[in-house]
Structure 1
Amino acid sequence: MKWNWGTKLVIGMLCFMSFIIVLAIKMFNSSPDALVDNDYYEKGLNYDKEYQLKEQVKTDHAKPEIQVSSEAIILTFKANAEGKVNLVRTADKRMDKLIQINTDEQHRVAIPLTGIAKGHWKLIINWKSAGKFYLDEQEVIIE
């Protein structure tokens, strides 16, 4: 079969248009990007406050020590502390967990790993100790 240049041009345009349509359908059916933050405006307003809390950790040398075992995440503070730990899974926001903490006599908190998936997690620790407020962010790998 012999095709002239007009037929080839129409076939090429149809292939290109179908490619664009497939990409558009795929874009609309894809899941939202995990890196996009829905409450970026509120976080922007609170940035100065968070920055001061993080600097307070550096000033007082109050950064908690984190140990990950097969059963729990163990946080060791410099003094008695109470607050909350936000476990953030960067890959899937639905897996995030908020845990209230209160230290024991050795200034430790054990967060059990039951129901927590393996992989990379970001710990956002917000606590009060000796009348001061602190905020620290650390990444851990749960195996």
Structure 2
Amino acid sequence: MKLNWGTSIVIAFILFIGFIMFFVVNMLTDDKYDHDLVVESYYKKNLTLQKDIDDSKKALALDQNVEINLAKEGLEIIFPTEFNFADIKAELFMYRPSDKALDFTTNLQLKSSRFVLPHNDFTSGRWDAILKFSYNNEDYMVTKKINK
């Protein structure tokens, strides 16, 4: 059987479509290509953005900044000594950019001006620690990128 140019073009199109379909099916079924949105409720989060910016500015304006560091025991949060730790209401949101299933929120029960989140509470990798706290009816927010 002799192929003419018309048959060759049809065969080339079929092979090309098969090639593209192979990659589409591969991308849709392979878990390593499964990426989540940064924030589930994007528009709702956008409404609170200005408040978050204002709270971050207030936290930076403090005489003594809140420190978030990676220590031997875990993630260490140190509040200013000028604050009475009993009056601080704080919440720590740990955001994992690569897997939303690992995200979690912890209400901090402070026994001193220092709080430690143990290493076994979060896995190795990149994290965004977002600390929101209030003291004397003022809201503050501190963010820190962590590589564990």
TM-score scaled by length of structure 2:
0.81
CA deviations 1:82-104 (Å, max 9, x no partner) are 31100111100000111111333
Aligned with 1:85 (options 92, 96, 118): 92
Q: Gaps spanning 5+ residues in structure 1: where?
A: none
Q: What's the RMSD between the two structures over aligned residues?
A: 2.2
CA deviations 1:2-41 (Å, max 9, x no partner) are 5332232121011112123234434544665324432011
CA distance in 2, matches of 1:123, 1:104: 20
Aligned with 1:136 (options 136, 142, 145): 142
**Could you say which residue in structure 2 is the equivalent of 1:56?**
58
CA distance in 2, matches of 1:92, 1:36: 10
CA distance in 2, matches of 1:58, 1:103: 21
Q: Does the aligned pair in 2 maintain the 1:66–1:75 contact within 8 Å?
A: yes
Give secondary structure in 1 for the equivalent of 2:61: helix
**Could you say which residue in structure 2 is the equivalent of 1:96?**
103
Q: Aligned in 2, Cα 1:36/1:60: closer, same or farther, shift over 3 Å?
A: closer
**Could you say which residue in structure 2 is the equivalent of 1:5?**
5
What is the number of residues matched between the two proteins?
Answer: 141
Q: Gaps spanning 5+ residues in structure 2: where?
A: none
Give secondary structure in 2 for the equivalent of 1:85: strand
